[in-house]
Amino acid sequence: MRSRMCGAVFLLLIFSACATTEPIPRAPAARSRKVANLQRAAALPWRDGGRCVVREANQDWPVLAERCYRALDHDRVEFHDTTGRCAVASAGAAAVGVGLCVLMAPEIVVGAVIVLGVVVVAVAIKEELEAYELRQLYPEKAGAARGTNAGSQEASSKHKPRREQEPAGQDWNPPVPPATVERTRRASCEPVPVPHRGGDDKHNECADTFPPNRYPGNDVLVNGKRFDALQVGARVLWEIKLYQFETYSDFLRVRVVEDQVLEFQEDRDVAAACGYGFAVGVSSAAHQEALLEQDPSLRIVVTGCKR
């Protein structure tokens, strides 16, 4: 009998605690996760300007990492399984490679991800973080204004006829729509020179001399996308690849070509939206042939530049 009473009291305490505990708000947690993901991704080089990261930022980091892994600039990232966790990963994790396994880890382990050269925050990620900061500032002011408006209107509604409750138009200004702010920050089609990313002098030298580059020593930012060069005397934007394609295994060749074709198709669309042509420079005929086999509409040129 005594044990039954103790059990009943224990259950009662549990249910009381559950009943009095306030629900955990989910929206702030989701926002925190999104910002944390954007900040973590900002330290990595992205070939798509960070668009995939922004699109998947609300997901848990492992999901984001898996979906955006192909958008990474793999030429500039090295993965090291410093904990040995990925060496004994499940078959599912091992199938996608040690690099993805390391990237998907929820914690950042020193020495696990090494980025070559200086990372400039991807345009889309930078804009999303800036927009988040703006949303933290403006809603506060807008909220205060709305509260003041609501209070004054509620007070006046008790003493004024209904016809006087309608806004006269000259007594208040509506808040600026977010779309207006976004339009002012929209990427321009005018070419903007930005310094080459560091860490790959051979690549930068080829980008400057082969097309040749209208802005030596600089990449070109057009329509929110960073290109390796803008050709002298022509509206043609260039991407340069110095891959040692002949040394790759058959499996790696297939993966590289699949990833690059998607990348180049996106780049071409971005360039075309601003009236530019788009070309790709590669080091070898084998690399050129493999890319054209996947998409013959791409303009692929053999530069002869070597590492």
Residue range 188-217, pLDDT digits in tens? 789 999 999 877 889 999 999 999 999 999
With pLDDT > 70 as the criterion, what percentage of the chain qualifies? 68
pLDDT at 218: 94
pLDDT band at 29 (very low <50, low <70, confident <90, very high): low
Averaged pLDDT of the chain: 76
d(CA 159, CA 161): 7
**How much of the chain is helix, strand and coil, in % rounded to 5?**
55, 10, 35
The DSSP code sequence of 192-236 is: EEEEPPSS-HHHHHHHHHTTTBSSTTEEEEETTEEESEEBTTS-E
Q: Is the dihedral of CA 44, 46, 50, 55 positive or negative?
A: negative
What average pLDDT does the segment 247-258 reach? 90
What is the Cβ-side half-sphere exposure of residue 15, based on CA atoms within 13 angstroms? 6
| Residue 48 vs residue 7, higher pLDDT | 48
| Phi-psi map region of 30: left, alpha, beta (phi>0 left; psi -120 to 50 alpha) | alpha
| Residue 269 vs residue 30, higher pLDDT | 269
What is the Cβ-side half-sphere exposure of residue 86, based on CA atoms within 13 angstroms? 20
pLDDT band at 126 (very low <50, low <70, confident <90, very high): confident
What is the Cβ-side half-sphere exposure of residue 58, based on CA atoms within 13 angstroms? 6
| Residue 175 vs residue 236, higher pLDDT | 236
| Residue 174 vs residue 232, higher pLDDT | 232
Residue 18 has pLDDT above 60, yes or no: no
pLDDT at 108: 67
pLDDT at 13: 43
| Residue 116 vs residue 133, higher pLDDT | 116
Residue 168 has pLDDT above 50, yes or no: no
d(CA 278, CA 271): 6
CB contact burial 204-230 (16+ within 10 A = b; e otherwise)? bebbbebbebbbeebbbbbbbbbbbbb
What average pLDDT does the segment 115-127 reach? 82
Residue range 63-91, pLDDT digits in tens? 898 899 989 988 888 888 787 777 654 44
| Residue 76 vs residue 182, higher pLDDT | 76
pLDDT at 162: 45
| Radius of gyration, CA atoms only, the chain | 27
Residue 223 has pLDDT above 60, yes or no: yes
| Residue 66 vs residue 159, higher pLDDT | 66
The residue ranges of every structural domain in the chain are: 25-158, 201-302
Residue 187 has pLDDT above 60, yes or no: no
With pLDDT > 90 as the criterion, what percentage of the chain qualifies? 34
What average pLDDT does the segment 105-120 reach? 77
d(CA 122, CA 39): 11
d(CA 102, CA 83): 9
pLDDT at 269: 92
Whether the upstream peptide bond of residue 212 has omega within 30° of 0, thus cis, is yes
pLDDT at 33: 86
Amino acid at residue number 18: C
Tokens of 247: 């040394």
d(CA 221, CA 226): 4
d(CA 229, CA 191): 10
